[in-house]
Amino acid sequence: MASAQTIGSVLHVEFVNATSYFSGYCALADVGKNSNKLTRPTPVPPFVTGVGIADIVSVNGTPIKGTAIESLNGTMLSPTMTSGRSIADFTAGPTSATFELTFLNPDGTLIGTLEIHGQGTSSDLRPPGAPSDIPGGSVYSVVGGTGPFLGVRGYFAPVQDSISPERQTTDCEDPSYRRINADPGGNKRHPVLYLIPLTQPQILMTPNGPAIVHASDGTLVTTAKPAKAGEILSLFASGLGPTKPGVDPGQPFPATPLQPVNSPVQVLLNGEPGVVSYAGGYPGAVDGYQVNFRVPDDAAPGQVSIQLTSAWISGAPVSMPLQ
């Protein structure tokens, strides 16, 4: 028996200037006062507390802004008796870690947030059923979010850069110097997210095919009247998320003011992005959107796969004829 399957999306995120400030290394009066670039002493203590912070600079290659905050409040686990580690059935450290990711548009407006909980990085465990993009040793769960990520769930892998990983220092260091004190390589992390949303972006369908029209005359793109390379088209969709300035949940979009989608929107033609000139709520519709885009000049003729993404979450592809 066939059943509907929710499609997840993989997001590759780039952090820079990632720094962890571990607690307990100086007197309360001295916390956060030292502007010098410090180094955390070794070995790692058995009970770990601290805060990590990083700048989010891109998602799936799209430049954005944002901040990642990691809270550490746990212990180091080992299945063998090891001094300074808590005995357990698997290796992990540190446990009880959370991440809060805040994504901003380049102009500084909020896209949305994600809340992530987990047992820390483990060499023994990998989430069963995770996509291949999620590397081994990651047991973090996405438990929710805001904006386009409302109700989302999934996996999170906080991958370190192999050349210039997250810098580790103490709570004595002044965090206002985080970017200044970064290592030459940039202290990068490359986390991977696998997100399953409540709703996905989806191109609407008509009895005669996808709801994609020629912008010049509003007629449907069909085999009898295919699209052309370089042409401006409009598609109609659902599931693109919040708009600016926004409407209350369940309310139709007004004609004035126009309601552009708050998140980055892409139209992929055979995997290649078309140029999106507008994506916004369709006046009078509830969860109905119009997206205007330009077919790439070098698009090959034939049946073209069209896929829509919003906030890097993708919908199922549809097929469109191209002359």
37-63: average pLDDT:
93
94-152 pLDDT per residue, tens: 888 899 999 999 999 999 999 999 877 676 677 888 898 988 776 789 999 999 999 99
Integer Cα distance of 288 and 278 in angstroms: 14
Residue 220: both structure tokens together? 């449907």
Residue 211: both structure tokens together? 């709801």
Q: C-alpha angle with apex 50: 44 to 56, nearest 5 degrees?
A: 115
309-323: average pLDDT:
96
Residue 29 DSSP class = G
What pLDDT is stored for residue 217 in this prediction? Answer: 97
What pLDDT is stored for residue 124 in this prediction? Answer: 62
Integer Cα distance of 175 and 270 in angstroms: 45
What amino acid is encoded at 94 in this protein?
P
Integer Cα distance of 171 and 263 in angstroms: 35
Residue 60: both structure tokens together? 């799936």
Fold topology of 202-322? Immunoglobulin-like (2.60.40)
Backbone angles phi and psi of 121, in degrees to 5: -85, 130
What pLDDT is stored for residue 134 in this prediction? Answer: 87
> Mapping DSSP to helix (H, G, I), strand (E, B) and coil, where does residue 212 land?
strand
pTM recorded for the entire structure: 0.93
What pLDDT is stored for residue 101 in this prediction? Answer: 98
Mean of per-residue pLDDT scores for the chain: 93
Place of tokens 């191109």: 203
Could you tell me the end-to-end alpha-carbon distance of the chain, in angstroms, rounded to an integer? 38
221 pLDDT more than 80: yes
Cα dihedral across residues 36, 41, 44, 47: positive or negative: negative
DSSP bridge partners of 15: 56, 189
225-281 pLDDT per residue, tens: 999 999 999 999 999 999 999 999 999 999 999 999 999 999 999 999 999 999 999
Integer Cα distance of 276 and 173 in angstroms: 44
What pLDDT is stored for residue 146 in this prediction? Answer: 97
Integer Cα distance of 113 and 148 in angstroms: 9
The answer to whether 290 and 265 are in contact (CB under 8 A) is: no
